[in-house]
Structure 1
Amino acid sequence: MADKQLPQNEDERQITLVDENGNEELYEILFTFDSEDYGKSYVLLYPAGTPEDEDVDIQAFSYKANDKGDPAEGDLFPIESDAEWDMVEEVLNTFLADDDQE
């Protein structure tokens, strides 16, 4: 499970991830989705403050939300199977393609 800190304001769509060395980095929530095939919810994150025209590494986790369904206040879990990663990448590619068309 990835360590994270909860946002100070519930309206914020940010999550602070803490790596294995204790370094903190603030991420914005790109989007969330549910998979009926895997029975899980997923959140995709990108580094906060990244300019829109800059390429970024997107982080993806499955999550267990709080009672309100908020991923920023739930628990994040690594995605471990290749099939699950393939599904997440397909959803991301569809999201990015739809975003490019707008």
Structure 2
Amino acid sequence: MEHGEERQITIVDEEGNEHLCNILFTFESDDYGKSYVIYTPVGEEFDEDGDPVYHASSFMPAEDGEDGELFPIESDEEWAMVEEVLNTFLDDEDEE
């Protein structure tokens, strides 16, 4: 896990609106053979109830090391795996 400088990505939603997001972390899953990114929208880090907002996508890193292409996570099994990794990450953050 990389910590330190803020890494950001721009997400384009279904309506074509761009949202700047802070990357929490990225990880790879051998089970699915994919890389994943967990991110939170800048300025929209919390929902109406004050709970943190996290988004996740799978991504294909670009060959040149530049930003890759993001893909939605579609299966329930993948979501469960991503949530487990996120929860472990958040638990580790709380302990520091």
* CA displacement at 1:68 relative to structure 2: 5.0
Alignment: residue pair count: 88
What root-mean-square deviation, in Å, do the aligned CA atoms of Structure 1 and Structure 2 show? 2.0
Given the two structures, how large is their TM-score scaled by the length of structure 1? 0.76
Q: Which residue of 1 aligns with 2:79?
A: 85
1:42-61 matched pairs, under 5 angstroms: 42-49=36-43, 55-61=51-57
SS in 2 for 1:93: helix
Which structure 2 segments of 5+ residues have no match?
Answer: none
Which structure 1 segments of 5+ residues have no match?
Answer: 1-10
* CA displacement at 1:46 relative to structure 2: 0.3
Identity across the alignment (%): 61
Deviation string, structure 1 residues 21-49 (Cα, Å, up to 9, x no partner): 22221101100000001111000010124
Amino acid at match of 1:47: P
Give every structure 1 segment of 4 or more consecutive aligned residues whose post-TM-superposition deviation is greater than 4 Å. Answer: none
> Bigger relative contact order, structure 1 or 2, given CA contacts below 8 A and separation 6+?
1
Cα 1:16–1:45 change in 2 (3 A) is same
Q: Which residue of 1 aligns with 2:7?
A: 13
Amino acid at match of 2:23: I
Amino acid at match of 1:30: L
Q: Which residue of 1 aligns with 2:62?
A: 66
